[in-house]
Amino acid sequence: MSMLKNPVYRAIVVYSDTSTGVIKVRIPALTGADSVVDVSYVGRTAYNGVWLVPSIGSQVVVTADDANLTNVFWLQVSPDPATSLTGIQSQIDTLSSDLSYVSSNLATITSMSASNRLKITSVENTVATSSSDITSLTTRIAELESFKDASFLGVFR
């Protein structure tokens, strides 16, 4: 199978999708104005479910593995931040939203925690008072017990 005359060609992106990674291009210098070809997935990968794709209408550089353009490859020398920002910004927005939700929950929980702490202190005070009362009552009961014994023995006759 014969090879391409030139190693690389400029192409115009007619369709791209960050969720599927599909890229369709026209290569006017090679296949005329109307033919649209798919760009191969070989050498490309999705990051966090998002494909890095060129924007529609932009110009990219492509090559192919034979003269029939059986596989067309997007020659991407380095990631283009402007192109990749769309996907990353979307993820940042999602994470920010999650973060504010978690922060809101945390504030609520902190507030509830402080309120509960006051109640615990009050209960602890109540318990301490009750313990003191119990001690006094125990002492009085002991006195009364001694009075009862003395009465039986006729101490007070």
Partner 1 sequence: MIFKSSHPGSPDVSVVISGATVDYTTISSLTIDVHENMHDMATITFSGFVPVGITDYVGAPVFISIKVAAERTIDFYGYISFIEPKMETRKGLINNSPVQTAVATCMGSSYDMVYPKYKTWENITLVQLVSQIAETYGYSYAVPNDTFVWKRLAQTGTSDWELLTSACKSIGYNVTASGTHIHVYDPYKAVPRQLPYVELLTVRGAYGDLKYAPGRIMEFNGLFGNTTLEGNVYNYNYVGIDSSGTVVRSSTEDADFTGFGELAARKGVAEVSTNVTSLEMLNKLSKASTKHNYPYNATALVTGVPDPVPGSVVKVDNFNSNFDGYWLVRGARHTVTRSNYVTELTIATDSTTGKNIESKPGAAFNPPPPPVLNKDNVWVSSLDFGDVYA
Residues that bind partner 1 (CB under 8 A): 1, 30-35, 37, 42, 65-71
* Shorter beta-carbon distance to partner 1: residue 36 or 137: 36
User: Rounded to whole angstroms, how far apart are CA atoms 18 and 88?
Assistant: 11
User: How far is residue 75's CA from residue 60's CA, in Å, rounded to a whole number?
Assistant: 8
Nearer to partner 1, 5 or 157 (CB): 5
DSSP, collapsed to helix, strand or coil, labels residue 87 as helix
Min dist CB 52 to partner 1, Å, is 21
State in angstroms the smallest separation of the CB of 3 from partner 1: 9
Q: In the complex, what is the shortest distance from the CB of residue 53 to partner 1, in angstroms, rounded to a whole number?
A: 20
Of 71 and 76, the one with the shorter C-beta distance to partner 1 is 71
Residue 21 backbone class (left: φ over 0; alpha: ψ -120 to 50; beta: rest): left
CB nearer to partner 1: pick between 65 and 80: 65
**Start-to-end Cα distance in the chain:** 134
Please, which residue, 67 or 123, has the CB nearer to partner 1? Answer: 67
CB of 1 to partner 1, least distance (A): 5
Task: State the burial class of residue 23 (Cβ atoms within 10 Å of its Cβ: 0-12, 13-18, 19+).
Answer: buried
CB of 32 to partner 1, least distance (A): 3
DSSP state of 55: P
Angle 55-60-64 (CA atoms, 0-180°, nearest 5)? Answer: 125
